[in-house]
Chains A and B, each alone.
Chain A
Amino acid sequence: MPTLMLLCSAAWPCAAAPDAAAGAAADAGWILQKLAQPTPMRTAFVELRGSAMLKAPLRIEGEYQRPDNATLVRAVRSPYVETTTLRNGEATIARAGKTPRKFALSRVPELAGLQASFGALLSGDRALLEKHYRLTPQGTRQQWTLVLAPLDAEMKASVRDITLYGRGAELRCIETRPLKGDLQRTLLAGAANDAAKASSVDALAALCRAGAAR
């Protein structure tokens, strides 16, 4: 129980605000409860991948799917077709005409984080999430952010934090800030649909953070 009490004090505003109002402050428990969705589910995403080697950040579009509680699929549609399946701590990357490649998530802490956070988020598994991150909710239930600061030493070495942006029950954007290199941004659901029209990095950043309480 001490962790929970600590969390409650961290999410102090929740206790002070009226309960059911849309303008009420968002707490981690409320956010997670709202985000939880039964499997199977799917949601569109738009991702920007920046690199010093690239002329411009790579814009990747596709769909995240959760066929069951233990599996997360990242299906890329554009600019190429590729399916990544995260399951049992392993990632399998399949491309047309190639034998699938496998690697352990433990070797890519960012990805392990994604699997843990995304999976835990979508299943509403707060305990699992709190095993790996310190959760800092901000904003109102209408527009909230949840910052996930890694607790594992290994993940801390590569990821500064992960910020979730949402509106009500909709998770709209995930920003991963690595220790080195560019910020990586994944737009989801409504934000991904809106992103279809936007093309510049700034426009996407604005969409991601639209109205966020930060």
Chain B
Amino acid sequence: MLSARSRIALALLWLAVLALAAWAITQRLQLSGDLRKFMPAAETPAQKLLIDELGEGPGSRLLLMSISGADVPTLAAQSQALRAALAARAEFALVANGGDASLEAIPERLRPYRYLLSDTFDARPLDEATLREELDARVQDLGSPAASLVEPLLPADPTLETLKLAERWQPANAPQRLHEVWFDRAGDKALLVAQTRAAGFDPTGQQAAVDAIHADFASIAAGTRSELVLTGPGAFSVEIGGRTAAEAQWIGMVDTIGLILLLGIAYRSWKMPILGALPLATAGLAGLGAVALLFDGVHGITIAFGFTLIGVVQDYPIHLFSHQRPGMSPWSNARSLWPTLATGVASTCIAYVTFLFSGVDGLKQLAVFTIAGLGAAAISTRFLLPALIDPAPRDFADSPMLAKLWRGIARLPRPRGSLAMLALVALGVIAFAPGPFWQNDLSKLTPVPTDALAKDAVLREELGAPDVRYVLTLKGKSEDQVLQASERLRPALDRLVATGALAGYDLASRYLPSAQVQRARQQALPARDRLQSMLGTVLADSPFNADAFEPFVADIEAAKRAPLLSRADLQGTPLAASVAGLLLSGRDHATALVSLNGLQDPVAVAKVAAANGAQLLDMKEASESLVAAYRGRVLAALAFAALLLTATVWIALRQPRRVLRVLLPMALTTLLILAVLRGLGVEMNLFHLVALILAAGLGLDYALFFDHAGDDRADQLRTLHALIVCSLMTLLVFSLLALSSIPVLRAIGTTVAIGVFANFVLALLVSRQPVEEALDAAA
């Protein structure tokens, strides 16, 4: 036995090692927020596209904004100021508010390309008649109040192609423009869209973007009553992240105080809370370290779920503490508890092994994290913790209060038939409760508050943002091939718009015509000599000076000779962002997307698409099938895990009666949890499943320890003490989570809280062996 002083020193040393490990792990820990790691492999084209869009897609990078609360000119000015401020920041690839700032953003070197990008001269060539008509209109422009706007453009661009392109590049179904910026239909909200450079699920990048918007808006709107509404996947993840952190902080604080009080009261020693926390901290670090070693990046969800699942190890030291008694060394105590503890840990770990074969990266990480964590906690409880425990001043079996409680429990009738009834009722509720059993909506995996979703839907609708459910795809071998295909598709799409099957559409060839089209336009442009002679004729009897349009002649010549514009040339322009969202390319294939607005008749659109070599994809169907496939894998893994767990317990206990007594509370509790949640109308999602696993793990431990106590009254009392402390502790932590406003935390909290309660009661009634002689003695 070590001295009291060296025990403290050892505890401090352990803490120091943990701190050092924490530092080392954070050095190589790469936290990833990429939800795709938590998805099974995509199989259908729609699923593949969905997975692409989820992480990197332009949809996930869009932040939608509205400014309201002032008169139209003020809002318009604020919209312009906000656009200018945000466009100057590195966080954003694109900021649009309806103003034609795209003109200034197009670099000088690309300006001559307007004659290859614009379709003005497709229908009627740039000949003398066209020139004359255009120049007549320009004279009027110069005489109009807008003269100062147009005049600087005229020498190089007498047909105002720049303005036409800027107009054409407005989103296909753009909102109305008041004071040259987008406004909602009612005309009291100015609308803006920003595309972040960071991916949608890059929490730090999105946080920076959201902070930038709020900061810029605050300085722009200072002194006015204007208000900003900001939505979009990034804004949501930031908001949820912030709220989760804030709630986790107060919940964590209340938990910590509660646990210290609880352990202090239960063991009447200030050391116990510290000693009790050591295995948990060890487990967390071991889990993190294992994942960091074996995987490239640790998913945020792995950490959140992982820490939830290893919460069970908090119970390990409690069992040790409660079974301490005078005259027994902590080492022999740990040795006697070890078979039970090891059975629980081993069977749980073996169950988690099934996750390794789930084919989902995130679940594999979770399995590694949990197995490493549980293992480290068990081993440290067995081989390190006993060295730190002070000799016990009392035996909890001697506590009169506990004895009274125990007698009360012992008098309770043993349930038999009633358990079968309970199971039947639970099954009935699970089977017949109204409402869908599963939550299939993929977006609920990162649950967003409903009011935020509603605001987002309104903004999306006002901004004419593309249909999130349907998208058309065109596949080909090269970018140019799919661009040509989408140009061929356009007449058919225009007919669909004319018949009302579709309100509008957007495709990459709107911004980047195929090489074929560019070449044709290039060839149709007049040569320098011809243009000059045409201009000479037209200008002779026009109010314009003969040399007024020299820059125009130079630009046409540049356009005629320029190498064709490719996607690479657009780099760094606002067009690059628009094209990137609609043109996806791999090494030997390319996909052009056609985003759709106001889709009224999916069947008609699908038919037209099929006739033109395109395909209409239903993203909602894809996401639901993906969630279903995902859940299928989790459930299969769980079923297999249950079998493995049973087998392990069987091998450890060997007697069918004992196996039944240990497994029954856990199985029954799972049914009860499902029945209660279903009865309350809760739809099950991934978070519930994970919480169910934790609840089952707790139940297994409770039952194993009661089974371990056998029919020895004193040992049953000590076990009762341990389990009261354990279940109160777990109940405290998860009841607080159940009070959270974050749906994920609430799902986990309610599930586990119900589970702890049911497991504790059932373990008492089912797993505990009757103690005949003790009862007689007490009577």
Chain A residues in the interface with B (C-beta under 8 A): 47, 49, 51-56, 58, 60, 74, 76, 80, 82, 84, 86, 88-91, 93, 95, 101-104, 106-108, 110-111, 114, 158, 178, 181
Contacts and interface: CB of A to CB of B under 8 A. Distances in A.
Interface string B131-149: 0000001011011111111
9 contacts: A47-B143, A86-B145, A93-B144, A93-B145, A95-B137, A106-B77, A107-B149, A108-B146, A158-B148
Q: In terms of DSSP, what is the predominant structure of the interface of chain A? A: strand
Contacts of A107: 149, 180
Contact of B544 (A54, A88, A106): A54
Contacts of A111: 145-146, 148
A89 B179 contact: yes
B76 interface: yes
Contact of A53 (B73, B76, B145, B154): B154
B146 A103 contact: yes
Contacts, number: 81
Contacts of A95: 137, 140
A202 to B, nearest CB: 19
Contacts of B73: 89, 106
Given A53-B545, A55-B545, A58-B543, A104 B76 contact: yes
Interface in B174-189: 177-180
A76 B143 contact: yes
A89 B76 CA distance: 11
A91 B145 contact: yes
Nearest to A86: B145
Contacts of B543: 54-56, 58
B155 interface: yes
B140 A108 contact: no
A109 to B, nearest CB: 8
A76 B545 CA distance: 23
Interface string B659-691: 000000000000000000000000000000000
B712 interface: no
B72 interface: yes
Interface of B: 72-73, 76-77, 137, 139-140, 142-149, 151, 154-155, 177-180, 543-545, 548
B77 A49 contact: no
A121 to B, nearest CB: 17
Given A53-B155, A103-B149, A106-B76, A58 B143 contact: yes
A82 B140 CA distance: 8
A148 B144 CA distance: 22
Contacts of A47: 143
Nearest to A115: B145
Nearest to B155: A53
A182 B137 CA distance: 21
A59 B143 CA distance: 8
A49 to B, nearest CB: 5
B180 A108 contact: no
B76 A91 contact: no
Contacts of B151: 51, 53
Contacts of A93: 144-146
Q: Which 10 residue pairs across A and B have the least CB separation, nearest first?
A: A104-B179, A53-B548, A104-B180, A111-B145, A60-B143, A58-B143, A89-B73, A54-B543, A49-B143, A84-B145
A84 B149 CA distance: 15
Contacts of B545: 52-55
Given A82-B144, A114-B145, A106 B139 contact: no
A4 to B, nearest CB: 25
Contact of A110 (B137, B143, B148, B178): B148
Contacts of B155: 53
Contacts of B179: 89-90, 104, 106
Q: Which of A90, A93, A104 has most chain B Cβ within 10 Å? A: A104
A55 B541 CA distance: 11
A178 B148 CA distance: 10
Given A58-B142, A90-B179, 7 more contacts: A53-B154, A80-B140, A89-B179, A91-B146, A93-B146, A104-B180, A158-B148
Given A89-B73, A90-B179, A106-B76, A54 B146 contact: no
Contacts of A108: 145-146, 148-149
Contacts of B148: 108, 110-111, 158, 178, 181
Nearest to A48: B143
Nearest to A159: B148
Contact of B142 (A51, A56, A88, A114): A51
Nearest to A102: B177
B145 A74 contact: yes
B162 to A, nearest CB: 15
B186 to A, nearest CB: 15
B176 to A, nearest CB: 10
B142 A54 contact: yes
A90 B176 CA distance: 14
B544 A53 contact: yes
